[in-house]
Structure 1
């Protein structure tokens, strides 16, 4: 099942079920908050699948960030083997354990929203990542049980302002949290639709040129290990988003950073694609 948040024109946000190239409004059945229904999603499945609200072509709606008001948006650094090596060559030491940072939730952006290039930097970079959305409140989750707390998956672009990331903020938070720099989507694909999240194709292009092309099976710490690690420290909540690492091909090693007018498309097999245009800061 694929669930999206969307608007028609300037109307209110609705919750919809995506079937092919159409979306069906299910708000009358379950409300408009995806985050609110995540703990009860298994029990609500039949109602959502049977809902017969207004059906619209996806081309006729504006898709919003699928998860509304998550409490946490966390990212792991240098979690793909070749990416860790290219980061080392750029002067960033390879961590000896999982390296986590916060992306402030105010950076969240829709799957087709514009990416704002801040005036204060020319080092705007891209990072395609598999996004994992937590489905229920949990703590001290074992690796073996980790999949049971996953509601589903989405595509993320962990946009980074490199000079602020590496030089201005040792915790990465500032360079990872500029407004609009957290596009996610295009919808939430529930866990049952993905046979193996550890073997998905990831491709990112800039103006049609392939920059990143890898599979999720190259993670150093897989998504289940990540959930087990984090849940030792704090309670994971429904709607929390984990960006699980990016493969090699980012702009930093070569200095090929994003420019105004660039179109960045990130696609993961089975999950769909997001596409964002870089615009100037107004």
Structure 2
């Protein structure tokens, strides 16, 4: 399997919300008892060398850095003890969120797919091999806005660890080769503005950057 093709071949992006206690708290939520899932369309992918587009529909665009799992083979009802064998690699991702649209949708009791799924709302790195991320449950992830460090977390602080997430998701959606699961964001999410640069990284292992530009 060529996991480098996940952007063009993947059929879904599954997000896990509120998976870090401090982030859940900063958003005003209590500790979830089960993973909170949402979907992003694969049309929201954007890769390095291309900008993040700030939509005209949005007035409060937020960054959320996350470790992403690239699924390596098809699986359904995957047991926790076998979950890691379904990982083809990892990506660094930024779950861009139109916070104003999300808040309005929540107030009305409506889904918030638009707030999570607009074009360029899922910046991603190339696939990083399993060997490059030897301790996925103890890996630092961080994000800077214009060189100011605003998110600095570690995957050991996840409420639901990676094997549990894979098992839980696969019991509800068949996981297919090239699908991506975003495992949640640490605290420190906040707004970005047109003209700013977002830089994100995995410890000292990998770094990527994206310019934020106005929608034409």
Q: Is 1:264 aligned to 2:198, yes or no?
A: yes
Q: Is 1:132 aligned to 2:97, yes or no?
A: no
* Unpaired segments ≥5 residues, structure 1: 1-35, 39-63, 252-256
Q: Residue 54 of structure 2 aligns with which residue? A: 117
- Partners of 2:72 and 2:94 lie apart in 1 by 21
Q: Return closer, same or farther for 1:159/1:221 CA change in 2, 3 Å cut-off.
A: same
Q: Return closer, same or farther for 1:274/1:172 CA change in 2, 3 Å cut-off.
A: farther
Q: 2:90 aligns with which of 139, 153, 178?
A: 153
Q: Residue 276 of structure 1 aligns with which residue? A: 210
Q: Return closer, same or farther for 1:112/1:219 CA change in 2, 3 Å cut-off.
A: farther
Equivalent runs, 1:193-212 vs 2, <5 Å: 193-212=132-151
- Partners of 1:111 and 1:142 lie apart in 2 by 35
- Partners of 1:102 and 1:112 lie apart in 2 by 25
TM-score of the superposed pair, with normalisation by structure 2: 0.92
Count of aligned positions:
213
Q: Residue 179 of structure 1 aligns with which residue? A: 119
| Contact 1:194–1:270 (CA under 8 A) maintained in structure 2 | no
Equivalent runs, 1:78-97 vs 2, <5 Å: 78-88=18-28, 92=29, 94-97=31-34
User: CA RMSD for the aligned pairs?
Assistant: 1.8
- Report deviation, 1:171: 3.1
Q: Residue 52 of structure 1 aligns with which residue? A: none
- Report deviation, 1:118: 1.1
Equivalent runs, 1:165-244 vs 2, <5 Å: 165-168=102-105, 170-185=110-125, 187-244=126-183
Of structures 1 and 2, the one with the larger relative CO (CA 8 A, separation 6+) is: 2
Equivalent runs, 1:39-118 vs 2, <5 Å: 67-88=7-28, 92=29, 94-118=31-55
- Report deviation, 1:172: 2.8
Report the more deviating stretch, 207-216 or 272-281: 272-281
- Partners of 1:87 and 1:221 lie apart in 2 by 18
* Unpaired segments ≥5 residues, structure 2: none
- Mark the structure with the bigger radius of gyration: 1
| Contact 1:66–1:184 (CA under 8 A) maintained in structure 2 | no
Q: Is 1:37 aligned to 2:23, yes or no?
A: no
TM-score of the superposed pair, with normalisation by structure 1: 0.72
- Report deviation, 1:150: 0.2
Write the deviation string for residues 223-280 of structure 1: whole angstroms up to 9, x where unpaired. 11100001111210010001100000011xxxxx211101001101365122111100
- Partners of 1:171 and 1:227 lie apart in 2 by 23
- Partners of 1:246 and 1:73 lie apart in 2 by 15
